[in-house]
Amino acid sequence: MKERAAITWIASLVGDDRLDDLLDKNGGSQEWKEALRVCLEQIERRGYLRAEQTTREALDILIAASHWSAEQIEQQLQNIVTNHRRVEIINRLAPLGLRLYGNDRWKKLMPYNAAVVASFHSAKSLASHADLMDIYDNSLISINLPQAQAGTGIQYRVLDVLASRSLLLTKAVAGSDLSYLFGNENPIETFSNLEELVSKCQFYLEHEAERTARIAECNALVSRGYSFEERVSEYLTRSNARAAATCLDQRRSPASPGSIALVSAESICAGRGGRPLETAALPIQPW
């Protein structure tokens, strides 16, 4: 039987070589470093840059040095903030048995960070949804930390973990879609800061009965209505009832092909008159 991991995390070290090159090229300029500090603090607080005067002036300095657009600068700074938070988590959770499944950019930190060396496992072998579920099912705890710009949205892996044998610990976000879907008093475990994350990991690793009880509550949350099949069927019902009927018939007759109509998000929103968008369809494999 496969040994279960104490804590797992599937996370990339985000960004690319362009950011590395920019930091190497301009890191010696005091003006540039001050502008970088101002913008990073804004990202830390809000997750994005606003057109406030002090931020705008700092942003203009970064644009002039990089020749990137404001949107490109914002994205790269969001990557810096995300990476900083992720490295902090690895440093604290590695002693508790963290397994980090990530991309090759993590290897750049290995000469400088023993926690990354101890935790890192390549994610190249995770080629399918089944591979991801195998990771979750063989983990006592799975953590989730969205990127700085994610806002209130949730990632589908959150639903995957909620449906697994692993306990989800996810970053608390005010007004999150998790609260919208499941209510404010839902059983999903969240953390507001690094200390709380470490504390909850330690607690649930030492209290198996509480961990399994919380997992059972989370499994119940997503037991109906949240599978890929159910979500696709609902999407098709809203966007193209004929295509939805075809897919539902397909479940009864697996040999018959189905179709998914390509529609815009706007066309299925309330207030658009309810008329399906005329589009081509793509064949899909039977469920």
Q: What does each of the 287 residues of the chain score in pLDDT, given as a tens digit?
A: 568 999 999 999 988 788 788 888 887 789 999 999 999 998 888 878 876 677 888 999 999 988 899 889 988 888 898 899 999 999 999 999 999 999 999 999 999 999 999 999 988 888 888 899 999 999 999 999 877 666 677 777 888 999 999 999 999 888 777 888 888 888 999 999 999 999 999 999 999 999 999 999 999 988 876 666 666 677 677 766 666 566 555 544 444 333 333 333 344 344 334 443 333 333 333 32
Measured between alpha carbons, how far is 276 from 115 in angstroms, rounded to an integer? 53
Question: For residue 264, which phi and psi values (nearest 5 degrees)?
Answer: -80, 155
Please give the structure tokens belonging to residue 254.
């697996």
Cα Rg of the chain (Å, integer):
22
Helix residue spans in the chain (DSSP H) = 17-26, 30-46, 53-66, 70-93, 114-119, 129-137, 156-162, 177-182, 194-206, 208-221, 228-239, 241-252
The torsion angles phi and psi of 285, rounded to 5 degrees, stand at -80, 150
Listed in order, the ranges of the chain carrying CATH 3.40.50.2000 are 5-12+84-221
Looking at the DSSP bridge assignments, the partners of residue 178 are none
The pLDDT of residue 178? 82
Which pLDDT score is estimated for 176? 78
Strand partners, 141: 7, 167
- Give residue 281's pLDDT: 37
pTM of full prediction above 0.85: no
According to the model, what pLDDT value does residue 38 have? Answer: 92
Classify 255 as helix, strand or coil.
coil
Q: What top-level class would CATH report for the domain 5-12+84-221?
A: alpha beta
